[in-house]
Amino acid sequence: MKRFYTAESVTEGHPDKLCDLIADSVLDACLSHDALARVACEVMAAKDRIIVAGEITSLYEPEIPKIVRRVLSVVGYDPSQFSIQCLIHKQSPDIAAGVDCSLEQRRNGGQEDSVPQLGAGDQGVMVGYACNETPEMLPLPVVLAHRLTISLALARRYGLIHGLRPDGKAQVTVEYGEDGKPLRLDTVVVSAQHSPVLEHDELCWELTDKVLFPALQPLPPDEDTKILINPSGRFVLGGPEADTGLTGRKFMADTYGSMVPHGGGAFSGKDPTKVDRSGAYMARYIAKNLVAAGLASRCQVTLAYAIGRAEPVMVQVDTFGTGLLQDDHRLAETAKLVFGLTPGEIIAQLDLLTPRYAQTAVYGHFGKPDLPWEKTDQARLLREAVL
């Protein structure tokens, strides 16, 4: 039976992504000066105003207006056109107490192991996924959608297409065959903000030649592929002037598209004690190493945590019938042996106190080879442990 899967991506000038980028830039600034900073930063962009709110407990007080103006400028907006409001206070002492001293430690009289037993900063479910259909070990629609928006942003930034503006988005639908592998490119949608003097036909030709064809090389369009460029017609008014932006509203674009469920927690603006983020990174790390080990061609890892408790309350692996073993439960048990799954262990294994989060805020949190959770350095150990 044929199936269709769709994924979306947006440029850094999209109002929601602008907010994610500001939030993660604030986080990076805090971690650069205080590796133990607790940050939960939320951003709203509406018309000519940027509102930064949340909880920050840090030895360093970030210059938030300066960070916001720098991000606006890099993305392609005029900072002088925006007013900036900051509503920041410290982390709740109740949450801080549960994070600093986990439930397990409190039951053990507060004694610490060699690895700090941080409690999870929240309850929640985190999902990681990997597959062997692309070099990035991501679903092909996700890879193509990000390639399109990256190409669109670069075409604007380097003047390859004159008249482009910062806001933009792409959507890709791929048809999969009965064997579960990508078969053909079904539909491509690209919306690009542009100058009012740029004619629609000229824009379509330029985008097709300089963005679509190069970006879609992994699976080129065929004669039946539907290509829709600025289907609404005009896209002159964009960014926060046209749509209100908020952090965390593009979490399907941040992850795996429609093919994979999402635990529900967004990533940007959160320090790694928040397992919404660190747990999702670890789940991806485990899934990618299981696929790299040849133990499955598709793999979904699900973790669940309770606030204030260090150990996860659930670890589950699903290989969708592609696993080398008939029992996915064995893979889950092996993963618990090979990977440390408490917040402190995750932070140490994945080097999550290093300020690199702004690069994750746009074009996906996965698939970028220089990120620690994208390594496959545990694949051999996993295979040996299982077999």
Question: Closest Cα partner for 25 from 36, 45, 41, 9?
Answer: 41
Topology annotation, domain 3-9+140-237: GMP Synthetase; Chain A, domain 3 (3.30.300)
CA 369 – CA 151 distance, rounded (Å):
18
Say whether 158 sits in a helix, a strand or coil: coil
Annotated binding site for L-methionine: 55, 91, 243, 274
Q: What's the average model confidence in pLDDT over 100-115? A: 48
Domain assignments of the chain as residue spans, ordered by start: 3-9+140-237
**What is the model's pLDDT at position 1?**
73
**379: CB partners within 8 A, 6+ apart:** 289, 290, 292, 293, 294
The lowest-confidence range among 78-82, 264-268, 331-335, 371-375 is 264-268
Question: Closest Cα partner for 41 from 274, 252, 283, 244?
Answer: 274
Please, what sign has the CA dihedral across residues 330, 335, 340, 343? negative
Sheet with 245-246, side-by-side order of all strands: 83-89, 49-57, 38-46, 245-246
Record the pTM.
0.93
Q: Extract the tokens encoding 181.
A: 């592998």
pLDDT tens-digit series, residues 241-275 = 999 999 999 999 999 998 899 987 899 999 999 99
Question: Closest Cα partner for 331 from 289, 369, 360, 367?
Answer: 289
Q: Extract the tokens encoding 237.
A: 């008014």
Annotated binding site for Mg(2+): 16
CA 173 – CA 213 distance, rounded (Å):
16
pLDDT tens-digit series, residues 287-335 = 999 999 999 999 999 999 998 889 999 999 999 999 998 899 999 999 9
Annotated binding site: 14, 16, 42, 55, 91, 167-169, 234-235, 243, 249-250, 266, 270, 274
Annotated binding site for ATP: 14, 167-169, 234-235, 243, 249-250, 266, 270
Annotated binding site for K(+): 42
Q: Extract the tokens encoding 318.
A: 């699903």
